Structure 1
Amino acid sequence: MMRFAVIGIDHRHIYHMLGGLIEAGATCAGFDPETSDPRVLAGLRERFPGLPEAGRRALLEDPSVDIVLTAAIPAERADIAIAAMRHGKDVMADKPGITSAAQLEAVRRAVAETGRIFSICFSERFIVPATTVAERLIREGAIGRVVQTLGLGPHRLNRAIRPAWFFDTAHYGGILVDIASHQIDQFLTFTGSADATIAASAIGHFGLDDLPDFQDFGEVLLRSDTATGYIRVDWFTADGLPTWGDGRLTILGTEGTIELRKYVDIAGRPGTDHVFLVDAKGVRHIDASNEPVTYFRRFLADCRDRTETAMRQAHVFTVCRLALDAQAKAALIGGMRPEGPR
C-alpha cells in the first residue's frame, strides 16, 4: 500500500488530487494544515474527515511516505517538490508546478539527481473522461492525421473567494503559465508532438479597473513539426453559466473532427463530458461521462514500478518550458501597463 502526504493546500484542486489517489488505492499519511486560504483547509477537513494533520518537516522526514502532493501557492510548488524529492519522495503537483525558468532548471536537476518522479496533474485532461475517449478515437484513426487543435479555457473569476496571491503575477506566474499549461499539454498529447515552438502569444487586461496588472486574457499560437494549435484562456465566464467555465477542445484531422465540450453543453444535453465526432459516416454524440479516470492509478503504478505510463517526465518539462516561453514572449494588449505586470 503506497502512502502519500499533502504539503500545500492553497488551491481547491487539492481535493481531486487527494481524492483521486485515495480512490486509486493509496493511503493518506497526513497533511500540513498551513494555508493562505482557511476556506480551502475547512473544505479539506469537511471532505476528508479524520485525516491526520502534521507539520511539513515531519511529513517530509517520515520514511513511510512515498509521495507528496502539493497545491501550494503556485510559486512555492517547485521548492516543495524539490524538498520532497531530496527526501526520497515522488511528487504530484497541481498546475502550474513551475512558475519560472530558474525553478524549471532546479526541478530538472532534482529529478536527474534523485531519480524521483515529478508529475503535474493537468486536470483538464487527466480528470476529464472526454479526453480519454478522444485519445482512443485518434489512436483508432477516426479522424485521420491530426492537423490542428483549438483549445479554449475560460474560467469564472469568483473574485470574492480568491486569496490575495491569486492576483499577483509573482505568485501565479501569469495567465499563460497558469491556465494555458493545460492547453499546451493537450496540444502535445493530441497531435503526438514531442516538442513545439511558440509562434505568437499575448496577454491582456480588459476587466477590473482596480486591478490593472491582473492578466484576465491570454492567447497562444503553437507550431510543431506536424501540427499547429491555438489557445485562448480568460477569466470572463459569466455568472449565468451553471459551471466554472465552458472548456472546449476541437481537434481537426484530415478525415474528420472531434469536439469536446468538457463541462457543459450550452442549452443542449445535460451533464458533462460530451464528445462530438464528425467523420465520413456522419455526426455522432458520445457520452463520455462514465469513462474511467486512469491518471491516478497509473501514477501510483509508475511510482511503484519506476515507469512512465501516466505521463512521460520529458513531457512535463516540455509543457512547462513552452508555457514559460509563451508568457515571456507575450505581447501586451487591452490596456495593460507598458512595463508589464508587477
Structure 2
Amino acid sequence: MRFAAIGLDHRHIYHMVGGLLEAGAHCVGFEPQTSDPRVLAGFRERFPALKEVAGARLLDDPAIDLIVCAGIPSERAGLAVKAMAAGKDVMVDKPGVTSFAQLAQVEAAVAETGRIFSVCFSERFVVPSTIVAGKLIADGAIGRVVQTVGLGPHRLNRAIRPDWFFDKTQAGGILADIASHQIDQFLHFTGSQDAEIVASGIGHFGEADLPDYEDFGEVLLRSDRASGFIRVDWFTADGLPAWGDGRLTILGTKGTIELRKYVDIAGRPGTDHLFLVDGAGTRHIDASGEKLTYFRNLIADIADRTETAAAQQHMFTVCRLALHAQDRAVRLPPRRTESQ
C-alpha cells in the first residue's frame, strides 16, 4: 500500500505515518507546507528518508492509495474531499471535521466515491491497553458493559502551540476535538451503534489573557445499551512525566476495567497499565507489549474494501456526536454579568 502525507500541522502526524510504515506501507512522500515549522522539523528528523513532494503532485499520482493528514483541523475535511475525488482513501487526525457542513460534505464524498474516510483516534488505536481491554470484554471478563468514564487531560504547552490552536473556528473547540476520543471509546466498548448527548459543558478556568479559550469540557451521553461520562481539560501539571494522565474506567455487571494509559502515578513505570476487578479478585496487567491492529487493518481494508479497522458509519457517528456535544454545550461557570 502506497501513501502520502499532506498537512503537517500537528505532531500526531508522527504516529500516523510511523504506524503505517511499521505495518508495512510505503510512503511516497510528504507535502512540507506547514503552519508550525517545529512539526516539520520533527517530521524530517524522524523520517529522514522520506521525500518532499508538492501536494498537488501527490493528489494527482494514481499510484497513491491513501492520503494521511494532520493539517489545521478546519482544513482537514476539505482536503479529504479532494483526495477522495482523486480516487484515494483518507486517514485524518482527530477532529476529522469541525462543522456539520463539513461532515455532510465528507459523507457525500464517501457515498459518491466509495472511498474510506478514517479518523485516527489515537487514544484507542495507538494504545495497546485498549486492545487488551477489548479482548477481556469479548471474553466476558466483566459481564455486560453498562458505563464508561473517560478522562482526557492534556498539557497545554502554550509556548509551542501555533496560533490556530487557540482559534475555535480553526481548532473546533475542546469537545469537538479531544472529547471525540472518549466518544469513540464509549461507542466501541459498550457496543453502541449510536448515542445521544444528554448534557455537555465547556469552560475557561486558566490563563486570564485567553478568556475565550476552552480549557475544560464535560459530556454526559447515553445509548440504548449504556451511559458514559467524559471529562477533558488542558490542565496537566508540568510535574507529570507524560502529556496527560489519560484514564478509562469500564463498568460491567461482573467487574470493572480501568486503563491508566500513559502513566501509573507514583506506581509502576511505563505505560498501558490495565487493572481488572472481577469475581476472583484484583489484577494488574502490563498491556504495553500488545501489538497495535489499526494500521495493519486499515491497510487490509484499503486492499479488500472492508471495514476491519473501524466501520465507516462509526467514524461518522463519532464526528456527529462530538459536534452535537460542542454545539449544545453550556458555559461553565456561566459568564458573570455587570450586575453580578
Asked if the contact 1:212–1:337 (Cα under 8 Å) also holds between the matched residues in 2, the reply is no
Aligned residue for 1:252?
251
**1:320, 1:302 → 2: CA distance?**
21
Asked if the contact 1:129–1:273 (Cα under 8 Å) also holds between the matched residues in 2, the reply is yes
CA deviation digits over 1:130-186, x for unaligned, max 9?
Answer: 000000000000000101000000000000000000000001110000000000000
Is 1:95 aligned with 2:94?
yes
Aligned residue for 2:108?
109
- Against the structure 1 CA distance between its residues 40 and 279, is the aligned structure 2 distance closer, same or farther, given a 3 Å change threshold? same
**1:220, 1:190 → 2: CA distance?**
17
**1:193, 1:73 → 2: CA distance?**
30
1:45 alignment partner, SS class = helix
**2:96, 2:72 → 1: CA distance?**
10
- Against the structure 1 CA distance between its residues 45 and 337, is the aligned structure 2 distance closer, same or farther, given a 3 Å change threshold? farther
Deviation of 1:335 (Å): 5.8
**1:4, 1:238 → 2: CA distance?**
37
Aligned residue for 1:243?
242
Letter of the structure 2 residue corresponding to residue 183 of structure 1: Q
Asked if the contact 1:127–1:293 (Cα under 8 Å) also holds between the matched residues in 2, the reply is yes
1:231 alignment partner, SS class = strand
**1:337, 1:104 → 2: CA distance?**
34
1:153 alignment partner, SS class = strand
Is 1:275 aligned with 2:274?
yes
- Against the structure 1 CA distance between its residues 337 and 127, is the aligned structure 2 distance closer, same or farther, given a 3 Å change threshold? farther
Aligned residue for 2:204?
205
Deviation of 1:336 (Å): 5.2
**1:51, 1:137 → 2: CA distance?**
39
The alignment of Structure 1 onto Structure 2 pairs a total of residues equal to: 337
Letter of the structure 2 residue corresponding to residue 181 of structure 1: S
Aligned residue for 1:284?
283
CA deviation digits over 1:190-210, x for unaligned, max 9?
Answer: 000000000000000000100
TM-score w.r.t. the length of structure 1 is 0.98
Aligned residue for 2:223?
224
Aligned residue for 2:264?
265
Aligned residue for 2:316?
317
Superposed counterparts of 1:62-101, under 5 Å: 62-101=61-100
Letter of the structure 2 residue corresponding to residue 137 of structure 1: L
1:25 alignment partner, SS class = coil
Aligned residue for 2:181?
182
TM-score w.r.t. the length of structure 2 is 0.98
Superposed counterparts of 1:114-125, under 5 Å: 114-125=113-124
**2:22, 2:142 → 1: CA distance?**
34
Aligned residue for 2:307?
308
Where in structure 1 do 4 or more consecutive aligned residues deviate above 3 Å?
334-338
Asked if the contact 1:213–1:337 (Cα under 8 Å) also holds between the matched residues in 2, the reply is no
**1:313, 1:328 → 2: CA distance?**
23
1:18 alignment partner, SS class = helix
Letter of the structure 1 residue corresponding to residue 252 of structure 2: G
**1:198, 1:211 → 2: CA distance?**
27
- Residue identity over aligned pairs, in percent, reads 72
Aligned residue for 2:29?
30
Deviation of 1:50 (Å): 2.2
**2:335, 2:8 → 1: CA distance?**
31
Letter of the structure 1 residue corresponding to residue 79 of structure 2: I
Deviation of 1:56 (Å): 1.1
2:282 alignment partner, SS class = strand
Asked if the contact 1:205–1:336 (Cα under 8 Å) also holds between the matched residues in 2, the reply is no
CA deviation digits over 1:36-93, x for unaligned, max 9?
Answer: 0000000000000021111111100011111000000000000010000000000000
Aligned residue for 1:164?
163
Deviation of 1:226 (Å): 1.0
**2:133, 2:181 → 1: CA distance?**
16
- Against the structure 1 CA distance between its residues 54 and 198, is the aligned structure 2 distance closer, same or farther, given a 3 Å change threshold? same
Deviation of 1:325 (Å): 0.3
- Against the structure 1 CA distance between its residues 50 and 264, is the aligned structure 2 distance closer, same or farther, given a 3 Å change threshold? same
CA deviation digits over 1:230-272, x for unaligned, max 9?
Answer: 0000000000000000000000000000000000000000000
Deviation of 1:100 (Å): 0.3
**2:27, 2:4 → 1: CA distance?**
6
**2:124, 2:64 → 1: CA distance?**
27
**2:96, 2:226 → 1: CA distance?**
26
Aligned residue for 2:136?
137
**1:53, 1:193 → 2: CA distance?**
42
**1:112, 1:332 → 2: CA distance?**
36
